[in-house]
Structure 1
Amino acid sequence: MSIFLNKDTTFIVQGITGREAVNLTKECLDYGSKVVGGVTPGRKGREVHGVPVFDTVAQAVENHGGQVDGSIVTVPPGFTKDAVIEAIANGIKLIVVVTERVPRGDVAEMVEFAGMNDARIIGPNCLGLIVPEVCKMGGIGGPAKDA
């Protein structure tokens, strides 16, 4: 039994139009995971592997019409703290931070904000989470055929 992920887990990808995020989004979809939206400011209306892109987390959550369980954060280090806080402020409780080199002070603020809002942060500099043959959230395991 998984603690964090199950077959019904829904999540978004923040920074979805970046090279790494495009690849991990495809890997997650191929694995059967439920990627319900992506966020990149200024890119609303685009799609990445059929996943709609929005300017804000609030737009992605509203478009989904239900609870969004998690977010994969793949934005540059200087924007990571704001992305994590935006996700948590919009009711997302599980944040996987792929970004590396996030300033320590920012990490401390993110963790404090998560704690105040009953959210959990995995990372930064994390490959993601996987429940074999059920769900994967991040680039962990590589392409679905190999994971």
Structure 2
Amino acid sequence: MEVNGPSGTLQIALTILVGLATIGYGAYSYSEQSSALDSAVEVDATITATSVTEDSAGKGVHYEAHATFNYTYEGETYTSSNVYPGTLPREFDTREEAKSQLEGYEPGDTVTAYVPPDSPGNAYLKHESSNKPFFVIGFGALFVLVGVRSAFKD
């Protein structure tokens, strides 16, 4: 089975452009996540709500864990709902797996939150990195490779 890439100059250019934009977004997400992890300041936070949301957009169903919490940083009060640092959401295959991410985060609990000083409104609860930005970069690289391959094939 042969898979054909884009044909025509415009389609090839769009494929490469989408790939480069995706690589850029993945790199930005990695940079943002790394910065948030490297510079984070610990503060006390109070959990106000937790939830698991279902998303069936795209292929299959996945779940995301959310925890809303209040905290004070440098005299200002903030509210955040980031369980993890960065812009890319963590997705789980089952509701139970997503719910397990919220263990120890019950409404009313006082917990440790991590505040990136350059973005104090984006505190998060779990000081963990994700490989997801690398998957986004890889996906973008595939688009670029298919576009370049098609350009030389034509």
TM-score (ref. length: structure 2): 0.20
Taking structure 1 as the reference length, the TM-score comes to 0.20
Bigger helix share: 2
Select the structure with the greater relative contact order (CA < 8 A; seq sep ≥ 6).
2
**Higher Cα radius of gyration:** 2
